Structure 1
């Protein structure tokens, strides 16, 4: 009799003719399935670079490394062959009891039992590594495949009865030997595994974390019934080898093909490196930055850190994409993730990455996914998901297969674009954090707008860079403006062994940092705003804006007005919208519009203010918050801005005269009075000592004050020549007062010292908070023990706090305003979109509700709704899309016709032109 056919690995109950039937998949089949998926992943998905990284880290032999890894994956659930686990289905436990296999009731997890069962077996065969205790780390890795690493106490409290005695030990031995046979693994490899031997401790932990993620992912695939349906054909022991080995291998290959993981990689084995013009056919002439990259590709090895510092509009993004193409083709890297600061910038970058992959992946089928909290409402992403269901190989090769859309799987996809938060979570103690790190291993990670992250986010990012190097990933950092201290910190974090002195060639520059050293190149810029083309600086009063803008645009043109706060942008829009009657177009963009409306406005802004030949045909005014200073390809003739830190002002200036030519190579036409780029700064309020006063500034007061007194005396700024000098002046720690403010020096000294102390204390607190939240250092001997708690992603509370883990933000929530008449509730003011808050919604209805939501961070609104027990309908709580979505029924003002709701402090209006408009009652 074949006892193994009765040891179940997966089981489910069903009712047939009033009789309960239990179907199950034999454990040996599931173990073989998992090993088969691991084998297929190595053969069909892992690139040569990743295989080399693993082989060099383990046994210096690809075949031995492969066989050992797939054995670990295959054996991960051996703890299910125990009296504890098999007792969980009493009906099946009775059958085993009749066959002489006892049950033992306990709440011990099978994942923890797995590590101990394997360890006990290896001890029984006198394996030296097991006797010496060198295999202890593997108990944690195998025991953590459900997302949480066990602790020593979990192992210590196990007793022999938990693992099983007598006949159970024979069953376990038989299962292990079959998996060993399938994987063709030599157990002597356990004796030469480099844990606690010749690998650095940090590299050991990185390797273990990779293996943990690998095991979890292959288990997810092998546990999917649609790929591995329950098998009942094991009548004899020989059926396992003679039949099921080949059945499982066939299923595993089909699974990888179906989920969209295999099929794209062939390009990274034998692909020829395409020329820049083939990859980017619309670029007729390489820019100096791009020429330097192309000329120095031979100096880029994997893993490397490449930092590109250049003004806006110099082609940094295309250069980064081309490096990714080179590393994938020449070095065999595993795909890419492109990280951006906001959802809006991620949405725009998603389109560019899709076009890039379309150019280089013809004839293949490659997955690209959008990763952020509201990706589901992206039309472009939805198109790729639809295309994956109807793929015929003749259209674009880029798809978005559904398997990667589930939570925790996005970073596993070959290519992804999203917010930086998604990768920062990789080094925070979330359940299955190691799956995220596994997904990033061996890839190219492109991080845009690197200057825009504060001390808290930068601390997490620096730690991530350390892990990425250990995992064989290359990183490309892009920035227009970066203080030297931050530049050096990022380089030293990625490659700690380089010399203290990092070559500091003039800005703009490219820094290539690898195990072979650091090389720095500088270059001329294409859009050099110097001499007659330097940016004119003027300081203006806010009340003069309507008149000055009207005059500046008399012959046509585009102006952007950037406000630091939504409320200011709304107020300025109200003051300027009267210009519409004089033939001006006036647009408003900020974050307090419903998602569907904000997406429409963003697309309109890109269309109206993007790359275009004729700037004198219209008179256009865009009033916006900081949204437009990052990663959006916009081109203005004139810009007006609130005072902001100097690096962000340069970012904003980067949208001035951004293009010399339109898409067709024609010169951009600008009005005569705007031939030279102009940047007007709105004067802040100042006190009697000419020191600016700020009410609740969103930026560091110390940096704002230094920006003010270094920029105030200037009439123009040369780009790029003045960028680095001004940034260094503002961000160094000196308190030197420019001569223009000598008369008020004493007062300035006092104000600056107070502001600096406040900034230093806040940054120290935020840096400490970030370090406290990180996973342990990989060089920590007690790494697995020192993760004291895990946050679960799949709960409402966890989702609400995920962003608070990666950013220091004001608490926020999602709010949907509902309109009401006698017939019910509606999502729109016109009462065309009825909505129910009582019954379940279809998926399409849920997405429509999400599209009408606004993210609100106002404290008064937040506290009103977060403390209400009925502001989230019960039916919404059960939805993965709407479980944190609050609603409010709006009241119509009979006089103005506007819709609003009240809080203790505010009147809150839902206005089509303004978005959510919050007006203080006092």
Structure 2
């Protein structure tokens, strides 16, 4: 009974080079079982192993044997006519042995056959049919979709799909031999006492079976052993020993193992090379008192070291709770890149001398120089057939922090012990896409840090609530970070985690009494609690507000520039934050005649533009330059200019450690205004120019109406709700200063309390306010409904996981930041596409800008070409261009074979940087980035 076939790609003792050879099904099942054991022992923490064993009512060793055997049984459905007939030589041998192939042969996928037929075998061992059904469906879903009830019932009703009694006997014999060789017979009988199994164990079993199958399918690690002209050498027990050794070697090559537990509690300063502040001290004291699982919400102003506090807490939780890693989720690729560097530094100190497997996870992670350096130290690539991707190499890396190329694809990336990347990667774990359970399995038992939660909209928050419920259900701990979090949202997070953890005490929890800044936590066996964080003197800041209105005349922006010029006569660094790329480009153009110096004292221009719509290679270079110019003075590579102005979008709003002397911001939601203000006078050690003794925030608004309320550009209203903008203006309009942290909580609550329009304003404004509120509520309801439709809920009973609605139809491509369809699953907003900028014409040769080698459109590009292509990718959200390019064919068919390029489009430009998309002219300008103009005007 064959399980795998391949053309002989290597010389073996059994067959010549080009002979078609095979691997017996039973041996592949043993291979997979042994890989599952290796993952269980080496990659899962003691906390998760113990929790799983208790859930199944057995000890840890027995749970290991049961999990290994069940994972190995994933391909039992291959012992059926629809699968065995696929190899003619094998089918002929089986016919000669007496097995009958009915006519016509069925087409049932072997995973569904496993889910249909394995329950009868398990039930015969005394396991209840309910539990047997659930376990079988979990392992039968190893190709990405959990078999639904109607799928397996359909197969069971058609005898030709699964074969006659001889085939049934064969399947029973295969499983019986697997159970014996894996010492699982007595353990499986013990499971007969279970009336049900928790849904989280089924998710982990499905994920573990899938991953073990991928690794066991690697021909280098598990070579073919079959031949049709003779028996295998040795016995099954002896083969199991070989499979065990191969599984261990594969895990070594993958660098997939949890770091060892260290004795003693490391000092904060030992891990981060500076003394802890009051927040970090308090978090350290709290972490040692938490149970499993736990949720911690940290609310504090920007610049207070929340990231280091979270890493320290995660480190202590890992040590005391037997956890096995963490994932740090951030809102954008840029913030993920910067956090990756910080986490790598932490890991090198936390696990000195130990090879720590770390991943950067987002659509363009392969272009990260830091990740590439780590990959250069990771050894050879384990690349199973059908699931591998090309990798990359470089020369140097932090000595003990390494990366394994096998984890690069996003569906596998969360399996790595340590990961840093976009929040989209974890949100995909609760969405109905293929292999969502692999992502959940990768997060089980880990500590997950979720940063900048205040930046998420109603749709993402609904997904996040479901994710928290699943993480708690699986025994994971979560640390949520936010500068400004409305009380209602905080309460939703607490309740979601408590539901997953089964913490009934949280149901009575309807408010948090501790004042901002605060820590809120919920852990098993206790009601939610909160505590205020003592504020260090350096954390308290007074920010003076100045309102700036842009007139209708063209000189409005020029006057803004002149005011900035006057403010910076004595030097200093200013930021102008705009809400859209088009607005940032308009401001940059207006300020260019005013700030003309090409050397701001650090060798770079006085005026610079930074937004997300530069080609990636240019954007990464700008990001590096921005951090080196406006980062923390004293940090490696930071050289502060004497006088400079950075015009930017929200790319500098979150997680980037930047420090400015004065800031201009377009009107934005009040919590984001506070977030932006966190980049003002951020570090007390930064030398300030002569002038005002306090930080200055200029709030720049459109031409006000008779109530003084600003008008909002159409582009702004595509980004933010008009209702929230109006509430923010009402909350800020009479202020001339902002005290941080004292004013933060009251300001945020006044915006998000969803109250009616205050008295004393004109009827026209009241009408505008009420209409905006109605639109906001309608959109919020729609987003929540849409999120609920797509999400995989924690089921009341395990059977709900296998209802027909769980059939997965979304695209399998796992590059969420590149693939527009997946992008729309994790974020509701303006549609966008990823375009690759190339020089050339539709029918002529194509070139990467700046290169003179013609690209081959007929062959799949190699790793180097893929990287160079992605370096010239840009995310486009302009509605007209997106609509025009979405109607195009996209990439050449050969290029779509690359998982890093799938989902991209090609935008062709001439040598002057000009291209066309429908009615729009697209220009790639070295200073402005992507410029889009109407070709019809």
Alignment match of 1:425 (pick from 420, 425, 428): 428
State how far apart, in whole Å, the 2-side matches of 1:166 and 1:842 are: 49
Match of residue 212 from structure 1? 206
Match of residue 386 from structure 2? none
Matches within 5 A, 1:25-36: 25-36=23-34
Alpha-carbon offset, residue 166 of structure 1: 4.8
Checking the alignment, whether the CA contact within 8 Å between 1:36 and 1:252 is kept in structure 2 is: yes
The answer on 1:747 being equivalent to 2:764 is yes
State how far apart, in whole Å, the 2-side matches of 1:239 and 1:617 are: 73
Cα 1:225/1:182, change in 2 over 3 Å = same
Checking the alignment, whether the CA contact within 8 Å between 1:349 and 1:417 is kept in structure 2 is: yes
The farther-off stretch of 506-515 and 830-839 is 830-839
What is the alpha-carbon root mean square deviation over aligned residues? 2.7
Alignment match of 2:60 (pick from 59, 62, 68): 62
Cα 1:85/1:54, change in 2 over 3 Å = same
Match of residue 636 from structure 1? 660
Cα 1:445/1:133, change in 2 over 3 Å = closer
The answer on 1:624 being equivalent to 2:648 is yes
Checking the alignment, whether the CA contact within 8 Å between 2:127 and 2:194 is kept in structure 1 is: no
Alpha-carbon offset, residue 99 of structure 1: 1.7
Q: Deviations over 1:812-863 (max 9, x none)?
A: 22223434599954333x5656545455533212211111122111122122
State how far apart, in whole Å, the 1-side matches of 2:74 and 2:927 are: 57
Match of residue 280 from structure 2? 290
Cα 1:296/1:385, change in 2 over 3 Å = same
Checking the alignment, whether the CA contact within 8 Å between 2:491 and 2:510 is kept in structure 1 is: no
State how far apart, in whole Å, the 2-side matches of 1:315 and 1:305 are: 19
TM-score normalised by structure 1 residue count: 0.91
State how far apart, in whole Å, the 1-side matches of 2:252 and 2:513 are: 48
The farther-off stretch of 370-379 and 319-328 is 370-379
The answer on 1:653 being equivalent to 2:672 is no
Checking the alignment, whether the CA contact within 8 Å between 1:838 and 1:875 is kept in structure 2 is: yes
Match of residue 139 from structure 1? 136
Matches within 5 A, 1:840-919: 840-869=860-889, 872-891=891-910, 898-903=912-917, 905-919=919-933
Corresponding residue pairs, total: 884
Cα 1:627/1:425, change in 2 over 3 Å = same
State how far apart, in whole Å, the 2-side matches of 1:558 and 1:918 are: 29
Checking the alignment, whether the CA contact within 8 Å between 1:314 and 1:525 is kept in structure 2 is: no
The answer on 1:385 being equivalent to 2:375 is yes
Matches within 5 A, 1:84-163: 84-104=82-102, 105-123=105-123, 125=124, 127-130=125-128, 133-157=130-154, 158=156, 159-163=158-162
Alignment match of 1:523 (pick from 514, 528, 533): 533
Q: Deviations over 1:457-480 (max 9, x none)?
A: 100110110000000100000000
Alignment match of 2:820 (pick from 796, 800, 804): 800
The answer on 1:324 being equivalent to 2:321 is no
State how far apart, in whole Å, the 1-side matches of 2:844 and 2:783 are: 51
Alpha-carbon offset, residue 885 of structure 1: 3.2
Checking the alignment, whether the CA contact within 8 Å between 2:33 and 2:72 is kept in structure 1 is: yes
- 1:909 aligns to what SS in structure 2? strand
- 1:765 aligns to what SS in structure 2? helix
Checking the alignment, whether the CA contact within 8 Å between 2:30 and 2:178 is kept in structure 1 is: yes
Checking the alignment, whether the CA contact within 8 Å between 1:77 and 1:114 is kept in structure 2 is: yes
Alpha-carbon offset, residue 236 of structure 1: 6.1
Match of residue 453 from structure 2? 450
Checking the alignment, whether the CA contact within 8 Å between 2:292 and 2:476 is kept in structure 1 is: yes
State how far apart, in whole Å, the 2-side matches of 1:840 and 1:31 are: 33
- 1:317 aligns to what SS in structure 2? helix
State how far apart, in whole Å, the 2-side matches of 1:838 and 1:176 are: 46
Cα 1:581/1:799, change in 2 over 3 Å = closer
Match of residue 715 from structure 1? 736
Cα 1:607/1:557, change in 2 over 3 Å = same
Matches within 5 A, 1:586-735: 586-612=607-633, 618-661=642-685, 668-696=686-714, 697=717, 698-735=719-756
- 1:77 aligns to what SS in structure 2? helix
Alpha-carbon offset, residue 52 of structure 1: 1.1
- 2:212 aligns to what SS in structure 1? helix
Match of residue 515 from structure 2? 506
Checking the alignment, whether the CA contact within 8 Å between 2:543 and 2:696 is kept in structure 1 is: yes
The farther-off stretch of 45-54 and 628-637 is 45-54
Cα 1:825/1:212, change in 2 over 3 Å = closer
Alignment match of 1:782 (pick from 793, 797, 800): 800
Cα 1:172/1:839, change in 2 over 3 Å = closer
Checking the alignment, whether the CA contact within 8 Å between 1:212 and 1:434 is kept in structure 2 is: yes
State how far apart, in whole Å, the 2-side matches of 1:367 and 1:13 are: 33
Alpha-carbon offset, residue 114 of structure 1: 2.1
Matches within 5 A, 1:180-579: 180-187=179-186, 189-190=188-189, 192=191, 196-197=195-196, 204-232=198-226, 239-262=234-257, 264-265=258-259, 267-268=260-261, 270-281=262-273, 283=274, 285-389=275-379, 396-496=399-499, 497=504, 498=506, 499-517=508-526, 518-526=528-536, 533-542=541-550, 543=556, 544-579=559-594
The farther-off stretch of 717-726 and 137-146 is 137-146
State how far apart, in whole Å, the 1-side matches of 2:918 and 2:286 are: 62
Checking the alignment, whether the CA contact within 8 Å between 1:616 and 1:670 is kept in structure 2 is: no
Instruction: List runs of 5+ in structure 2 lacking aligned partners.
Output: 381-393, 551-555, 601-605
Cα 1:620/1:242, change in 2 over 3 Å = same
State how far apart, in whole Å, the 1-side matches of 2:225 and 2:766 are: 79
State how far apart, in whole Å, the 1-side matches of 2:822 and 2:589 are: 36
Checking the alignment, whether the CA contact within 8 Å between 1:615 and 1:669 is kept in structure 2 is: no
Instruction: List runs of 5+ in structure 1 lacking aligned partners.
Output: 1-6, 662-667, 893-897
Cα 1:594/1:704, change in 2 over 3 Å = same
State how far apart, in whole Å, the 2-side matches of 1:825 and 1:501 are: 61
Alpha-carbon offset, residue 12 of structure 1: 1.9
State how far apart, in whole Å, the 2-side matches of 1:783 and 1:44 are: 28
Cα 1:189/1:25, change in 2 over 3 Å = closer
Checking the alignment, whether the CA contact within 8 Å between 1:365 and 1:393 is kept in structure 2 is: no
Cα 1:194/1:548, change in 2 over 3 Å = farther
Cα 1:216/1:888, change in 2 over 3 Å = closer
State how far apart, in whole Å, the 2-side matches of 1:832 and 1:555 are: 47
Alpha-carbon offset, residue 237 of structure 1: 8.2
Checking the alignment, whether the CA contact within 8 Å between 2:434 and 2:808 is kept in structure 1 is: no
Alpha-carbon offset, residue 324 of structure 1: 0.9
Alpha-carbon offset, residue 865 of structure 1: 1.9
State how far apart, in whole Å, the 1-side matches of 2:729 and 2:837 are: 41
Checking the alignment, whether the CA contact within 8 Å between 2:126 and 2:192 is kept in structure 1 is: no
The farther-off stretch of 466-475 and 403-412 is 403-412
State how far apart, in whole Å, the 2-side matches of 1:553 and 1:392 are: 43
Alpha-carbon offset, residue 503 of structure 1: 3.2
Alpha-carbon offset, residue 272 of structure 1: 3.0
Alpha-carbon offset, residue 315 of structure 1: 0.7
State how far apart, in whole Å, the 1-side matches of 2:675 and 2:306 are: 14
Checking the alignment, whether the CA contact within 8 Å between 1:292 and 1:521 is kept in structure 2 is: no
State how far apart, in whole Å, the 1-side matches of 2:793 and 2:629 are: 48
State how far apart, in whole Å, the 2-side matches of 1:820 and 1:117 are: 56
Checking the alignment, whether the CA contact within 8 Å between 2:145 and 2:807 is kept in structure 1 is: no
Match of residue 35 from structure 2? 37
Q: Deviations over 1:775-801 (max 9, x none)?
A: 244115433113143323139999330
Cα 1:674/1:876, change in 2 over 3 Å = farther
Alpha-carbon offset, residue 222 of structure 1: 1.1
